[in-house]
Structure 1
Amino acid sequence: MEVIERIETAIAMVEEARGVPLSASCVLHRGEILELLDSARAAFPSDLANAQEILREQDSVIEEARIQADQIIAHAREEVESMISQTEIVAAAKKEARRILDEVAEEAASQQNEIDAYVDSRLATLEVILHKTMEVVNRGRD
């Protein structure tokens, strides 16, 4: 910032200088203004180097932030994919569980129908046997 301060000092010197009547000119002390401008010129490379260093640091910080942002985005994508995958696995497991339950329910209903048919058949056979036994008993009583 030395250069800017010195330029501002030079501007102040010109603004405060005594004007030449009937012209836009002013009277300045040549030695003072030249010394000030020389010191500004000498400080310019230093300030420029500082500015360039700041720009390099800024670029470095920006690059580091970009890398971190990319890593965060990549991690977030992995998390989302994992969550989607887990959701798909859960959905597939629920679907398979429903299918198994439906299959078991169908099998149970089928077995119940078979059991009912068997019991009905056995009861019908028992009914016939009991009926014949009753006939024999009735004949024996007569």
Structure 2
Amino acid sequence: MYRVFEALDELVTIVEEARGVPMTSGCVVPRGDVLELLDDVRDAIPAELDDAQDVLDHRDELVGKAQHEADQATSKARSEADRMLAEAQHEAERMLSEASARAERMVAEAEEQAERAVAAGRQEYEDLVGRAHSEADRMVQAGRANYERAIEEGRAEQVRLVDQTEVVQAAHAESARLVEAARAEAVRLRGECDAYVDGKLADFEDLLAHTLRSVGKGRSHLRGPAVASATAPYDYQD
């Protein structure tokens, strides 16, 4: 069949390359080449047709064989699929059984652990409550003792403060007495100082008066005769 197409392609090439006849649409082709190609086509067609007829004759057989092989492959595939499906179901059931057993075992272990945890928590709660009650009783007793001690200390402090108040009052009275005594002593000392100063001033006044008298006498002698001054010097003593 390939030779037929090859010869036809060569014929087309010869016609396309042929020299045209003037004033017409015809052309001049080499007769020998064209006839040779046509003989090749004629010789090749029966063989190709025989091959095609053989294919057509064996078509039903080939189709039947292919159908049989396809049916066998389909049956085999279906059997394999059924086998794999059965194995998968069996494996799934086995895995499900193992998972169920494992889940039940884990649930049982979890319940057991939960029970142990609850028991431990209840025991710890009871211990904590007991310790809390004991600590509360101890703290109440300690608080009561501290309260009573604070009351006693407060009473003692109250007595001490009362006594201290009396002492403070006595101290204030004593300080007032001392202030009054100091004020009286200051008045007395001021009087004595004034008297002392007055006495000193009086003595100084007498001294000044005596001095003035002596000065007056001296002046009187100075105003007297010169002889008297020479023979009898003046005694400035009183």
SS at structure 1 position matched to 2:225: helix
Q: Which has the higher contact order (CA 8 A, sep 6+)?
A: 1
Once the two structures are TM-superposed, the CA of residue 98 in structure 1 deviates from its matched residue by: 1.1
Query: For residue 43 of structure 1, what is the aligned residue in structure 2?
Result: 156
Once the two structures are TM-superposed, the CA of residue 64 in structure 1 deviates from its matched residue by: 1.8
User: Which segments of 5 or more consecutive residues in structure 1 lack a partner in the other structure?
Assistant: 1-19, 21-25, 117-142
| Structure-2 separation of matches of 1:33 and 1:102 | 97
Once the two structures are TM-superposed, the CA of residue 48 in structure 1 deviates from its matched residue by: 1.9
Query: For residue 49 of structure 2, what is the aligned residue in structure 1?
Result: none
Verify: 1:52 aligned to 2:52, yes or no: no
SS at structure 2 position matched to 1:97: helix
Query: For residue 30 of structure 1, what is the aligned residue in structure 2?
Result: 143
Verify: 1:113 aligned to 2:225, yes or no: yes
Kindly, what percent of the aligned residue pairs are identical?
8
So what's the TM-score if we normalise by structure 2?
0.33
Query: For residue 176 of structure 2, what is the aligned residue in structure 1?
Result: 63
Query: For residue 205 of structure 2, what is the aligned residue in structure 1?
Result: 92
Structure 2: which amino acid aligns with 1:86?
A: G
Once the two structures are TM-superposed, the CA of residue 35 in structure 1 deviates from its matched residue by: 1.4
| Structure-1 separation of matches of 2:192 and 2:155 | 56
SS at structure 1 position matched to 2:148: helix
Q: Select the residue among 189, 196, 211 that pairs with 1:83.
A: 196
Structure index of larger Rg: 2
Query: For residue 125 of structure 1, what is the aligned residue in structure 2?
Result: none
| Structure-1 separation of matches of 2:143 and 2:227 | 123
1:24-67 CA distance string (max 9 Å, x none): xx946133112112212333331221111111011112112211
Structure 1: which amino acid aligns with 2:149?
A: L
| Structure-2 separation of matches of 1:71 and 1:77 | 10
Once the two structures are TM-superposed, the CA of residue 114 in structure 1 deviates from its matched residue by: 9.4
SS at structure 2 position matched to 1:88: helix
| Structure-2 separation of matches of 1:94 and 1:30 | 91
| Structure-2 separation of matches of 1:91 and 1:49 | 62
So what's the TM-score if we normalise by structure 1?
0.53
1:11-34 CA distance string (max 9 Å, x none): xxxxxxxxx9xxxxx946133112
User: Which segments of 5 or more consecutive residues in structure 2 lack a partner in the other structure?
Assistant: 1-131, 133-137, 229-238
| Structure-2 separation of matches of 1:48 and 1:36 | 18
SS at structure 2 position matched to 1:29: helix
Q: What RMSD in Å do the two structures reach over aligned CA positions? A: 2.7
